Chain A
Amino acid sequence: MTTLLSVEHLSKVFTLGGGLFKPGRELVALNDISLTVEAGETLAIVGESGCGKTTLGRCIIKAQPVSEGKVFYHPKDGQKVELTELDKRAIKPWRRDIRMIFQDPMSSLNPNMRVFDLVAEPLRVHRICKGRELEDRVISTLGKVGIPADAIGRYPHAFSGGQRQRIGIARALVLDPKLVIADEAVSALDVSIQAQVLNLLDDLKREFGLTYIFISHDLGVVNYIADRVMVMYLGHVVETAPTEQLFERPRHPYSEMLLEALPIADPTRRKGQNKELRGEIPYLGNRPIGCPFHTRCRYAQDKCRAEKPALRPINGTAQMAACHFAETLELKGAYEAPQKVFA
């Protein structure tokens, strides 16, 4: 496998308030994030709202400037482009390779543009083709995501949520990208439509050899689509592991808590009151000292309140966790007996 994207020690600090002579308050949204994405894999980034997963996605495509750290893109073997040092003009060609799908299909499409123009826009902006060729390319891309050619003259309001999300996907795919960052791409959809879009993303990945960064808060969906998962909490990476390993035996108490909170569509596996869920995600501005999770952790010790644990490989495997007791804690996974399919 070859690395497609690598992020090294990325931090993002927002400054709040302040004025001409008064310094603002600093809000650390991302704290020293490092990750690599291999070509052809699906990396999921999960966490509760406010953990920084969307900000991370936006920093990667430089929709937001980073405060510290570097993002490298590896277009082919041996070549390495530092996206973070490029200016607006220099980064443009690389934006063809890295595309984004947004969460809300209602607000991410310009209501004044027809479907054809919405999908043609990236081609025109990047001056890739025009005329007949452009037309063909738009129509064939729309066909791949399941929008019929006779619908190209309509405006977004004439489509359902699922169809709009397909148009959003077509906008991302029309440039033949290598890496697609899907930010909560299926969260706003109904279950039956969500299943359609998940299958579509899966098919497109195979057909075009795509790589996904899949940002989501739904662990059920993540288990279905991802090869690897990165769990974030308060701007920190607390665990990263191959999907199966994480769901089998999480190594960070926060991952365990997320898995425990996940409702399962089977009343015989009802979890009832015996869950151990504590507290809420603290405000970023007053991040706890020590381990960021210790205020909600049921296993927290004095060490956790004083010293911040580093992200490290567990027992020499591909699983990494930032917990002082990752090796010794017996944390609960989420897999159980297979469930049946109704025909």
Chain B
Amino acid sequence: MNQPLLSIKDMSITFSSPDEADIEAVRQVDLVLTPGKTLALVGESGCGKSVTARAVLRLLDKNARIPKGEILYDAEGGRVDIARLHPDSTAMRAIRGNQISMIFQEPMSSLSPVHTIGDQIDEIIILHQRLSPKKARERTISLLDQVGIPGARDRSNAYPFELSGGLRQRAMIAMALACTPKLLIADEPTTALDVTTQAQILDLLRQLQADFGMAMLFITHDLGVVAEIADDIAVMYLGDVVEQGDVFEVFRAPKHPYTQALMNSVPRLQRKAERTRLTPIKGTVPSPKDRPVGCAFTSRCPHAFAPCPGQRPERTPVSPGHVARCHLLTHVREEALA
């Protein structure tokens, strides 16, 4: 197996506010990213998947802290713990946008509306690679060409509003690739796009990964997209990674009730005769303030039993590389109830 490029170990993220108790938005997350592989981070809104990704780039809000855990990154000059770097430090800035870069969900709101896309991409290249503006523009044009923007030379002078959603997202990808990053974080890159455009962007990302061998952290809530692009999957619920492992393995035999429930709530492509009624998860996601001390999923879990509310389940290996946090894997249910 390849050497990991980045490993997140036992990381927690807390948000503090002046008039409320601290909220632990992410608790004890372990993730490993390997060159050439894609890890999909899946979960519903508010589960902490975007916060986890932003922590890797240290792009968290001012009131967020990483009190525990490490983010070990194999940088060019040796291994660094990103969690201990200051977000504004030179070391962090040398990594952000250069070695690790990010694609955001809404290209319209993350690109500057008053600069041409060419200028925005040039800026990164000039900043990190110290090329002359002229050479930077040549590189920008070849990047735009690489991500499949037709007429790249002319389009580099276009403003974001002049491009369609798909082209804008391609420009965003070109920008993320400007310095050939080792790790690409894609935060819901296709959620705002049409299915056909989405399929094209997924193809493009896959192609670019094959060409550059970068690691990819792919955040999404769409299990169809995960099945299409990921090598590994980590399912998050209310700040916990409840299950993670090889994508084929987890889809074949999901062990955590939340993963199972999530998969059962996606409408399947079936003929009417074979179709069954969807089984949604009962209730709604509680606020992180009301999260049970034990397993976060207790309040909605159809199998919840004695130890669930009070005791946090450990990471339990199911098969090599497949782990889940669920008491059902370690307890016999009847025994626990007695």
Q: A residues touching B (Cβ–Cβ < 8 Å)?
A: 48-49, 160-163, 190-196, 198-199, 202, 217-221, 223-225, 243-244, 247-248, 257-258, 260-273, 275, 277, 280-281, 334-336, 338-339, 341-343
- A277 and B200 in contact (CB under 8 A), knowing A217-B194, A265-B227? yes
Tell whether B80 is near chain A: CB-to-CB under 8 Å. no
A-B contact pairs, 22 of them (CB 8 A): A161-B45, A191-B221, A191-B223, A192-B280, A195-B281, A196-B280, A217-B194, A219-B195, A248-B271, A258-B196, A260-B199, A263-B195, A263-B222, A263-B227, A266-B251, A271-B199, A271-B228, A277-B199, A280-B164, A280-B167, A335-B270, A339-B270
Q: Could you give, for residues 259-291 of chain B, a 1 whenever the CB lies within 8 Å of some chain A CB and a 0 otherwise?
A: 011111111111110111111110011000000
Q: Which of B203, B224, B230, B285 contacts A220 (CB 8 A)?
A: B224
Tell whether B146 is near chain A: CB-to-CB under 8 Å. no
How far, in angstroms, from A267 to B230 measured CA to CA in the complex? 9
- Cβ-closest 10 pairs across A and B: A263-B224, A195-B280, A195-B265, A224-B267, A261-B199, A265-B223, A342-B260, A190-B44, A196-B280, A195-B278
Report how many A-B pairs have Cβ atoms within 8 Å.
Answer: 155
Q: Which of B271, B277, B278, B285 contacts A244 (CB 8 A)?
A: B271
- A199 and B206 in contact (CB under 8 A), knowing A265-B227, A267-B251? no
- Interface contact A265-B198, CB-CB below 8 Å: no
- Interface contact A273-B203, CB-CB below 8 Å: yes
How far, in angstroms, from A202 to B277 measured CA to CA in the complex? 10
Smallest Cβ-Cβ distance to B199: which chain A residue: A261
- Interface contact B265-A220, CB-CB below 8 Å: no
How far, in angstroms, from A216 to B203 measured CA to CA in the complex? 24
- Interface contact B251-A261, CB-CB below 8 Å: no
- Interface contact A273-B206, CB-CB below 8 Å: yes
Tell me which residues across on chain A come within 8 A of B280, comparing CB atoms.
192-193, 195-196, 199
Smallest Cβ-Cβ distance to B257: which chain A residue: A342
Tell whether B166 is near chain A: CB-to-CB under 8 Å. yes
- A257 and B196 in contact (CB under 8 A), knowing A190-B44, A199-B277, A341-B276? yes
Closest chain-A Cβ to B322's Cβ sits at a distance in Å of 14
- A198 and B267 in contact (CB under 8 A), knowing A191-B262, A342-B260? yes
- Interface contact B227-A192, CB-CB below 8 Å: no
- Interface contact B196-A264, CB-CB below 8 Å: no
- A265 and B195 in contact (CB under 8 A), knowing A192-B281, A244-B272? no
Tell me which residues across on chain A come within 8 A of B284, comparing CB atoms.
160, 162-163, 193
Central interface residue in A275, A280, A343, by most chain B CB within 10 Å: A280
- Interface contact B267-A342, CB-CB below 8 Å: no
Tell me which residues across on chain A come within 8 A of B44, comparing CB atoms.
190-193
Closest chain-A Cβ to B165's Cβ sits at a distance in Å of 7
- Interface contact A265-B199, CB-CB below 8 Å: no
How far, in angstroms, from A192 to B223 measured CA to CA in the complex? 12
Q: Give the size range of B's interface with the partner.
A: 35 or more
Tell me which residues across on chain A come within 8 A of B165, comparing CB atoms.
49
Q: B residues touching A (Cβ–Cβ < 8 Å)?
A: 44-45, 164-167, 194-200, 202-203, 206-207, 221-228, 230, 247-248, 251-252, 254, 260-272, 274-281, 284-285
- Interface contact B227-A264, CB-CB below 8 Å: yes
Tell me which residues across on chain B come within 8 A of A218, comparing CB atoms.
195
- Interface contact B270-A266, CB-CB below 8 Å: no
Tell me which residues across on chain A come within 8 A of B207, comparing CB atoms.
273
How far, in angstroms, from A217 to B196 measured CA to CA in the complex? 10
Smallest Cβ-Cβ distance to B42: which chain A residue: A191
How far, in angstroms, from A195 to B197 measured CA to CA in the complex? 25
- Interface contact B197-A336, CB-CB below 8 Å: no
Closest chain-B Cβ to A50's Cβ sits at a distance in Å of 9
- Interface contact B197-A280, CB-CB below 8 Å: yes
- Interface contact B225-A261, CB-CB below 8 Å: no
Tell me which residues across on chain B come within 8 A of A49, comparing CB atoms.
165, 194
Smallest Cβ-Cβ distance to A268: which chain B residue: B248
Apart from A265-B223, A267-B247: 8 A-B pairs, beta carbons within 8 A:
A163-B284, A198-B278, A221-B267, A244-B272, A257-B196, A262-B224, A262-B269, A263-B198
- A220 and B266 in contact (CB under 8 A), knowing A196-B280, A267-B247, A280-B166? yes
Tell me which residues across on chain A come within 8 A of B281, comparing CB atoms.
192, 195-196
How far, in angstroms, from A221 to B278 measured CA to CA in the complex? 11
Tell me which residues across on chain B come within 8 A of A342, comparing CB atoms.
254, 260, 263-264
Tell me which residues across on chain B come within 8 A of A219, comparing CB atoms.
195, 269
- Interface contact B261-A192, CB-CB below 8 Å: yes
Tell me which residues across on chain B come within 8 A of A161, comparing CB atoms.
45
Tell me which residues across on chain B come within 8 A of A202, comparing CB atoms.
277
Closest chain-A Cβ to B186's Cβ sits at a distance in Å of 15
Closest chain-B Cβ to A285's Cβ sits at a distance in Å of 13
Tell me which residues across on chain A come within 8 A of B274, comparing CB atoms.
338
Q: Which of B203, B262, B265, B269 contacts A336 (CB 8 A)?
A: B269
- Interface contact B270-A223, CB-CB below 8 Å: yes
Closest chain-B Cβ to A164's Cβ sits at a distance in Å of 11
How far, in angstroms, from A163 to B202 measured CA to CA in the complex? 32
How far, in angstroms, from A275 to B252 measured CA to CA in the complex? 24
Closest chain-A Cβ to B228's Cβ sits at a distance in Å of 5
- Interface contact A269-B196, CB-CB below 8 Å: no
- Interface contact A48-B194, CB-CB below 8 Å: yes
- Interface contact A275-B199, CB-CB below 8 Å: yes
How far, in angstroms, from A223 to B171 measured CA to CA in the complex? 33
Tell me which residues across on chain A come within 8 A of B268, comparing CB atoms.
220, 224, 265, 338-339
Tell me which residues across on chain B come within 8 A of A258, comparing CB atoms.
195-196
- Interface contact A269-B263, CB-CB below 8 Å: no
Central interface residue in A221, A260, A266, A273, by most chain B CB within 10 Å: A266
Smallest Cβ-Cβ distance to B303: which chain A residue: A343
- Interface contact A247-B269, CB-CB below 8 Å: yes
How far, in angstroms, from A180 to B198 measured CA to CA in the complex? 29
Tell me which residues across on chain A come within 8 A of B285, comparing CB atoms.
160
Smallest Cβ-Cβ distance to B255: which chain A residue: A342
How far, in angstroms, from A264 to B226 measured CA to CA in the complex? 9
Tell me which residues across on chain A come within 8 A of B203, comparing CB atoms.
273, 275, 277
Tell me which residues across on chain A come within 8 A of B267, comparing CB atoms.
195, 198, 220-221, 223-225
